[in-house]
Amino acid sequence: MIDWLAASVAQRQALYRAVKRLLDEEGLSWGDLYRDTLGQDYPPGHGYEDNFRAGRIARKKAHAIYNWLDERYPARAKALEAALADEDERQHTGEHWRRFLSEHGRYARVRAVLLRDADLGIVSFARGEPLAGPVIPFGASFGFEIDSPIAGMALALQAVGGAWYALPLREDALTDVVLPGVQMLPRQLGSDTPYPLSEEAHDGRHGFVFLIGQAEVIAPLVSIVPVGRPMAPAELDQIADQFLAAETEWHMLRINLMFRA
């Protein structure tokens, strides 16, 4: 089942094609559609259909239009969902995500911080290298110092053995609010105190990615980022597509660290 409130550009384009075919076959107008789905008693403005065709229609509107389609023409809605699921399985192999990382990730503005104790704070700093950061012993407490270029929200992922996992930034949440400038992540609940991380199972190289953007870009991704299991290629591709379609400023900060037993 597609979450239309987090629909990608490609999914909204597919919704347009399904609706356009329906309107043509049923003799309905775009004015009829927008009146029934969005409560607009006036014809849509110039460029409305162009935005929908390009997949730029607002997700809330796409959600309302799909609900109308599902209620009035359930067979067509089911066919659209099935077609998108098949397309997703064929096309989303993780290639979007890999290209997204290589073209937009910056090995800058993030460094590993070794923590002596969660309550005692920072005792040493280690600047991350483009390909590998400092070697961190198993069991050592560490965190990340982020120099955010913008105010917004952050979502973090970590790569271990070729698989990507969520890295929660609060004890009770995947994301956290960030301000422009330097701050520690993850943080303890209800404070700015660093929440210590440690590695005790997987040695070798780990990759970390911090995605920073506005709430309307990051918040919808929380529902597709699993906790406790590797992310599927389609889920990673959806993250890439979401950011690439964003109309607001965003950044991706990267760092690789080495862990040893």
Q: Taking 50 as the threshold, does the pLDDT of residue 118 lie above it?
A: no
Q: Class of 99-260 per CATH? A: mainly beta
Domain ranges in the chain are: 4-91, 99-260
Contacts 24+ apart (CB under 8 A), 72-75: 73/22
| Mean pLDDT, residues 141-151 | 95
Question: What is the Cα–Cα distance from 142 to 112, expressed in whole angstroms?
Answer: 7
DSSP secondary structure string for all residues of 152-205: EEEEEEEEETTEEEE--SBTTBSEEEE-SEEEEESB-TTSSSB--B--SS--EE
Number of helices (H), then strands (E), belonging to the chain: the values are 8, 11
Nearest-CA neighbor of 136 among 227, 251, 144? 144
Q: Taking 60 as the threshold, does the pLDDT of residue 129 lie above it?
A: no
Q: Taking 70 as the threshold, does the pLDDT of residue 119 lie above it?
A: no
Instruction: Encode pLDDT of 153-208 as tens digits.
Output: 999 999 998 899 999 998 888 999 999 999 999 998 878 889 899 988 888 889 99
Instruction: Encode pLDDT of 64-96 as tens digits.
Output: 999 999 999 999 999 999 888 776 655 667 888
Q: What share of the chain is helix, strand, coil (3-state, %, to 5)?
A: 40, 30, 35
Mean pLDDT rounded to a whole number for the chain: 85
